Chains A and B, each alone.
Chain A
Amino acid sequence: MKAFAALYRELDATTSSLAKQAALQHYFLSAQAGDAAWAVYFLAGGKPRQIVPSKLLRTLAQEAAGLPKWLFDESYDAVGDLAETISLLLPAPTQSHELGLAVWIEQRLLPLRKLAPELLTETLRAHWDQLATDERLVYFKLMTGGFRVGVSKLQVTQALAAVGGIDTKRVAQRLMGYLHISGQPTAEDYALLVAPENSGELNQKTSGQPYPFFLAHPFNLPLTQFDAVLGVPENWLVEWKWDGIRAQLVRRAGQVWIWSRGEELVTERFPELAAMAAALPDGCVIDGEIVVWRNDAESADSKAGKVQPFAQLQKRIGRKTIGAKMLRDLPVVLLGYDLLEYEGQDLRAKPQFERRAWLDQLIEQLAQPQLLPSPVLHAASWDEFARQREAARSMGVEGMMLKARAAQYGVGRTKDVGVWWKWKIDPMSIDAVLIYAQRGHGRRASLYSDYTFAVWDGAPDQPERKLVPFAKAYSGLTDVEMAKVDAVIRKTTIETFGPVRSVKPTLVFELAFEGIARSPRHKSGIAVRFPRMLRWRIDKPIAEADTLETLSALLPTVP
C-alpha cells in the first residue's frame, strides 16, 4: 500500500512521460506480484463497483473529523476532491501497518460491501487510523471508485513490456480482458502479463500481432505537374482520404484483435466491429479506416450511409464503456482498403491492385453491414480527379489517397517498395505546436486560452530546426479541453511576460484557416486568415507537426 501510494504521488506530480515511465517500471520491478496485479488493474482503468457510497463516507468522515457540516463543505470546496478532503481532515493515524496493496483490497476494502452498516463506521475508523495521508488518498479513491491518475493504458502497457522484456503489442493483447476479470487479478495473472512469449504467441497463426502500418506521404504539387511526376492515372488506385481511425482488423485462431495506428489495441471500443469480424475466415488481416457512418435517410442499405465528422468518433474514443445508446447513435463501420493476410498467407509483397481485388471479393462474399469497401475512384485524367476532389469538403473527407497500382505494402513511412500519397484538400489545415499562451478575458479570465502556434522551419532530419510562430488562435476547443490545456501550460511554462507565458513545446493542434498569404510582417513570412483549432492532436508528438515548407505549399501559386 505504501509503495503504491508513493507511485500514485509520483505519477500525479509529473507531466513528463519519461518520469512516469520510470516510476511505473520502478514500481513493477520492486512490487510483489499480487500487489502489482491490482496496480495494473487500477492504473489501466479498471474500476470495482463503488465500495462505500460517497454520501455515507462523507458523513462518517465529517463526524470523525469533529467538524460541522458547513466547515467540511468549505474544506471540500477549497480542495475540490472528496477523497483528498477526507484524507486531510481525518485525525492523524495512531497506528501503522506493513500490508501490501493486495491485502488492503482483498481483505479490507472489498469485504466492506458486505459489512452490516452498524459495523462500517468502526471498521473504517480502524482502517484509516493505520494510514498516512497519501495512503488515505489512494484508499478513499479506490473506495469511491474515483481512482484516476495521469497515465494511459498505453503507458502502463509500455512499462509492463519493458519490465518483462517483451513487445508492447504482446502485452496489449494479454491485457485484453484483464480489466473485466470477474474475480480478482492474482499474482499468477500478473506473472502471465510479463512472462516471455509462449509458442502459441510466437506462432503467426495464433498470434494477435498486427503488421507494421504502411504510411502515406503528403503530396502537394500543383496539378500541372501530376502527369510528369505520377504518370498516367491508370497506374494509380485512387480513393478518398477518410478522417477516421486507421486500423488493422486481425482475425486468427478464432479470435479478433483491432489495432489502431498507434499500435493500441482498441477491440473493446468497437464491439460491433469485433462481432462482425467473427464472420471473417481465420488468418485474415484487413487494413482500413474506422469511421462513424450514418444513414440520414433511414435507408436499410448501409452503403447509402455517410461518413460523420471525426468529432463524433472522438466521443466514442473517449468512453471506457460503450453503451447501447452510443452504439445506436454513433454506429461505426470499417472502410476496408487493403488485405494484408488471407488464409494465413502474408500478402504484403503482392501488388496493390491484386490485394485490393481480393479484398473487394472478400467483402462482397461476407456482406457485413459493418465492413464496407472504401470506394475506388475513377477518372480519365488528373484534371478530372481534381474536379472530383472538390466535393471532398462536402463529403467530409480530407482529400484523396493515391496508391501506386504496383505498390507492395511497405513498412512505415517508406517509398522503397511502392508509395502511397495523401493528396489533401485545401481547406487548409496544419498541425502546429503551441509555444505561447495568453490569459483570456471574461469567462476565460483565469484560463490560458489564447495561443500562438508555430511550425518547424526544417524537415525532421535537420537537428538544428526551430519552431517559427505563424498564427494565433483562441477558438475551437471545448471548455474541458481548454482546462486541460491550461493545466499543461502552467506546468510547462518557461517564462512569464505579463499575461503571456512561453511554454515548453509539447502540445500539437490541428489548425484550420480560410486563407493564406505571404506577409513580410510575420516572422514566418506567412499570414493566415481566421485560424482556429480544429482539434487537439494528442496522438501527435511535436516532431510530427508540420513544417514551414508544408505551410508554404498551401500558398496560392502566382499566376
Chain B
Amino acid sequence: MTNLVVARPEGLYCTAGDFYIDPWKAVGRAVITHAHSDHARTGHGHYLAHTHSEGTLRARLGAITLQSEPYGKTIEHNGVKISLHPAGHVLGSAQVRLEHKGQVWVASGDYKLEDDGTCAPFEAVRCDTFITESTFGLPIYRWATPAALSLEINEWWRSNADAGRASVLFCYAFGKAQRILYGADPSIGPIVVHGAVEPLNAVYRAAGVRLAPTLSVSDTSVNPQLLKRALVLAPPSAQGTPWMKRFGNYSDAFASGWMQLRGARRRRGVDRGFVMSDHADWPSLQKAITSTGAQRVFVTHGSVAIMVRWLNDHGLEAQGFKTEYGDEDMSEPPTANSASAS
C-alpha cells in the first residue's frame, strides 16, 4: 500500500491529491495548518486554510489565492477527501484529515491539548496514520494548567505593581500574547502592548475571542505613572532595545515552554520564566497519539528520534519525517537538547 503522504524536498506531499501540507518551498497547491511563519510560507499558487487563519495569513502574505473553510467541512480534491479539525495551537490552527480509498491520514501541524480559551480546543480524529510534532518530546516537559499559569502571571504582575514597577512580559505576538491577555486580571492595572502585538489582538477580537483591554505606548493616557502598574506585552525581539527605556525600573519575564529548564531561563536573562507553550507536553503527546487510534505514526519535528523510539517500544509503527518546521519557541532551545532533535 502506498503512503498517502510522503516527505518531499518541498514539504509534506499528498500523492493522490497532488498537493502539499505546510510546504517550505513554493508549490502549486498548499493546505496550511496555521499561520505561524514556519508553516505558512509565501509563494504558493493556491492556499487552503481555516476561516480564522484568513486574517493572519492575509496580513502576513498579502494578496494570495486563499480558500478558507470551517472545521469539519469535507471538500474533495483529485479524489482525496480533505477536512480541517481543531488543533488547539493558535487561532485558526487545524489538523488536516485526508481520506483516500479507505485510508485515513491526519497531519496535525502543531497542536496542544489543553483548552486555553483563545482558540477551538484540540479534537482527536480517528485515523490509520497520524503525523505528529514532537517539539517538547521529553518527559521533563509537563505543563501546569492554563488557569494555574494565569494565576502565576497575575501574582507576579500584582507584586510588581504593588512595588511600583512595570511588568514586562516577553512573548510571541501571535498566540501567546493573546493567551496572556485572555487570562490577565485587568483589575491589577492597565495592559500595554507593543506595536507588533496589537494587530493580532484585533484578529482574535474579530473572531470573537474576549481579550482584556489593551493600550499602546503612544496612547495619550499612557504616562510614566500609569506604566508603574502596567503589564507590558512585547515580542522577544524588543528585549534590550531602546523601546524598553520608557519603562524605567521594570521586572521582566519570558513566556515559553523552554522556560521549564533552569539553563534556558538563565540564558534568557530575565527575572522570571513562565512555562507557557502552544505545543503539547509529553503526556499530551502520548494522549493525542493514543486517542487517534493510529497504528502508524510519523514524527515531524522536535525530539524526533526519542519519540520514534518510545512509540516503537510501545507497539506502534513509528518513523521520522524530515521537515523544516521549527517553531517560534525554538529560537533559543536548550543547547543540550539540540543533539536529540533531528
A contact set with B: CB distance below 8 Å: 12-15, 19, 65, 67-68, 70-71, 74-75, 77-81, 84-85, 88-89, 92, 137, 446, 487, 490-496
Contacts and interface: CB of A to CB of B under 8 A. Distances in A.
Interface in B127-148: 138-140, 142
5 contacts: A13-B265, A13-B266, A14-B271, A67-B139, A79-B263
Interface stretch (B164-172, B201-209, B333-341): B333-341
A81 B306 CA distance: 19
Given A70-B309, A74-B340, A495-B240, A79 B140 contact: yes
B265 A77 contact: no
Contacts of B335: 446
A491 B266 contact: yes
B142 A487 contact: no
A487 B340 contact: no
Contacts of B313: 68
Given A71-B310, A74-B306, A84-B261, A79 B336 contact: yes
A507 to B, nearest CB: 15
A487 B273 CA distance: 17
B138 A494 contact: no
B324 to A, nearest CB: 21
A409 to B, nearest CB: 42
B59 to A, nearest CB: 26
Nearest to A88: B140
Contacts of B266: 12-13, 487, 491
A494 B240 contact: yes
Contacts of A74: 138, 303, 306, 340
B113 to A, nearest CB: 17
B303 to A, nearest CB: 8
A78 B336 contact: yes
Contacts of A81: 262-263
Contacts of A85: 140
Interface in B296-342: 303, 306, 309-310, 313, 334-337, 339-340
B267 interface: yes
Contacts of A14: 271
A495 B140 CA distance: 32
Nearest to B137: A74
Given A79-B336, A89-B140, A84 B306 contact: no
Contacts of B339: 77
A75 B240 contact: no
Given A19-B271, A75-B139, A490-B267, 12 more contacts: A12-B262, A13-B272, A15-B269, A65-B139, A67-B139, A71-B310, A78-B337, A84-B262, A89-B140, A487-B266, A493-B240, A496-B240
Contact of A491 (B241, B260, B267, B337): B267
Contacts of A89: 139-140
Nearest to B263: A80
A487 B267 contact: yes
Q: Which of A15, A70, A88, A496 has the most CB of B within 10 A?
A: A88
A495 B303 CA distance: 31
Nearest to B242: A495
